[in-house]
Amino acid sequence: MRGRSSTEGAAVNEITLVGVDLGKHVFHVCCQDGSGHAVMRKKVARSQIFEFFGNLPPCTVAMEACPGSHFLSRQVARMGHAPRLISPRFVRAFVKNNKNDFIDAEAICEAASRPTMRFVSPKTEEQQTISALHRVRQALVRERVVLNNQIQAFLLEFGIAASRGMFTAQRLALVTGEGQLPMGMASLLRQLEQRSAQAGAAIRDLEKHMTRLLNGDPAGQRLLSIPGIGPITASALIGELGNGSQFSCGRDFAASLGLTPRQRSTGGVVTLIGISKRGDKDLRTLLVLCARLYMFRLPKESGPLAEWVRALSARRPSSVVACALANKFARIAWAIVARNSQFEVHHLRRNELAKGLSTAQD
């Protein structure tokens, strides 16, 4: 910023909105004044980006919600700016004709200036850490499943049809027997089993780390009071919810996870179809699995929630009931985090149950 002309200095003072197209090494910036006119376009290296924002007056800094955006949002907020993260699919509609980095930055400015635009809440460092733990765990789970399937397939090639389940060293030795496989194949299967065991040990270590993080979070401990919710799902909810302030109600949070019906309505006729499946599919899957577990233990459960699930199960398919109950869990989780409350089995409000019932009927 050294050596700026007086004209450029005057333009800097007029900036109220900055659109940033993020890159690995270079950022493309489009700056606009209060009337929406572009006053500056600039290509800034990563090493100079904080100096650039440090020389700007307090303004709105908009960018797409993508890798690196949450970190940059936290940094510019400390400088007195107002960060705004936008989903890339909302920005795409504002890209005019040809596409380049400066046009993308201009489209981000246009999207951020819309009064009805939806913004993504920047995540804290703790939320990003929890999210990273879950992503690594999911990758390890996939790796272990792939290795186990390979062992099953190789055994079948040699006429050994093993039953389902994860292989251990003892089970592999029992299945293969003595001398049933060539020495080279037996050695290969043992290597695959060892890699699967290493992945399993890494998964257990990650789950212990999640539990330790959850033990230090009061909101996470309150989430564990929800029946069917365990440490893995509770930590995933904390990573997605934060303090819950980015959602105005529990239904908004459930909708962000894709647990509410899609709508194709026209001509005054309301048409609702299946759940939208938008948002974090892994968290949605965890909530549906928790709902399945609750339904499995339903004969032992009591209270208004159990009564609602029994009444719904009597007239709706089990998959519909599971999705409706997952929706209910998402709403309850938001209420616990946002309102600093705790789940009480026998004090669930009837109007909350009625809302969940109407969602399931839709």
* pLDDT tens by residue, 62-96: 999 999 999 999 999 999 999 999 999 999 999 98
Q: Which amino acid, one-letter code, is at 309? A: V
* More confident position, 354 or 177: 177
Whether the CB-CB separation of 256 and 283 falls below 8 Å is answered with: no
- pLDDT for 4 beyond 70: no
Report yes or no on 119 lying in a domain.
Answer: no
Res 346: pLDDT: 67
Residue 318 Cα to chain centre, angstroms: 25
Longest dimension (CA), the chain: 86
Report yes or no on 279 lying in a domain.
Answer: yes
Res 163: pLDDT: 85
Q: Over the chain, what is the mean pLDDT?
A: 88
Residue ending a domain, among 153, 180, 215, is 215
Residue 76 Cα to chain centre, angstroms: 23
Taking the C-alpha atoms of residue 254 and residue 231, their distance in angstroms, rounded to an integer, is: 20
Q: Does residue 66 share a domain with residue 103?
A: yes
Report yes or no on 135 lying in a domain.
Answer: yes
Report yes or no on 278 lying in a domain.
Answer: yes
Report yes or no on 17 lying in a domain.
Answer: yes
In this prediction, residues 37-43 reach a mean pLDDT of 90
Determine what percent of the chain is predicted with pLDDT higher than 70: 92
Torsion angle of C-alpha atoms 278, 283, 289, 294, degrees rounded to 10: -110
Res 119: pLDDT: 92
Taking the C-alpha atoms of residue 344 and residue 273, their distance in angstroms, rounded to an integer, is: 32
Q: Does residue 88 share a domain with residue 162?
A: no
Report yes or no on 223 lying in a domain.
Answer: yes
Q: Does residue 327 share a domain with residue 224?
A: yes
Q: Does residue 351 share a domain with residue 227?
A: yes
Q: Does residue 228 share a domain with residue 162?
A: no
Total residues found in the chain within this entry: 362
- pLDDT for 353 beyond 60: no
Q: Does residue 331 share a domain with residue 277?
A: yes
| Confidence label for 8 from pLDDT (cuts 50, 70 and 90) | low
Res 165: pLDDT: 84
Q: How many CB atoms lie within 10 A of CB 282?
A: 15
Q: Does residue 152 share a domain with residue 86?
A: no
Res 176: pLDDT: 80
| Confidence label for 333 from pLDDT (cuts 50, 70 and 90) | very high
- pLDDT for 361 beyond 70: no
Residue 277 Cα to chain centre, angstroms: 12
Taking the C-alpha atoms of residue 109 and residue 112, their distance in angstroms, rounded to an integer, is: 5
Residue ending a domain, among 89, 112, 135, is 112
Structural domain span for residue 68: 6-112
Count of structural domains, the chain: 3
Report yes or no on 117 lying in a domain.
Answer: no
In this prediction, residues 339-352 reach a mean pLDDT of 69
In this prediction, residues 165-186 reach a mean pLDDT of 84
HSE-CB of 149 using CA atoms within 13 angstroms? 6
Distance set, CA 293 to CA 172, 192, 222, 296, 330 (Å): 30, 32, 19, 5, 15
Whether the CB-CB separation of 314 and 357 falls below 8 Å is answered with: no
Q: Does residue 155 share a domain with residue 85?
A: no
H helices within 242-313, ranges in order? 250-256, 281-296, 304-313
The DSSP string of 72-124 is HHHHHHHTT-EEEEE-HHHHGGG--SS--HHHHHHHHHHHHT-TT---BPPPP
Question: Which of 236-240, 286-290, 327-331, 342-346 shows the lowest mean pLDDT across its residues?
Answer: 342-346
* pLDDT tens by residue, 186-243: 899 999 999 999 999 999 999 999 999 888 889 989 999 999 899 999 999 999 998 8
- pLDDT for 297 beyond 60: yes
Residue ending a domain, among 215, 242, 273, is 215
- pLDDT for 151 beyond 80: yes
Q: Does residue 182 share a domain with residue 166?
A: yes
- pLDDT for 360 beyond 60: no
Q: Does residue 208 share a domain with residue 297?
A: no
The DSSP string of 132-194 is HHHHHHHHHHHHHHHHHHHHHHHHHHTT--PPSS---HHHHHHHHTTTSS-HHHHHHHHHHHH
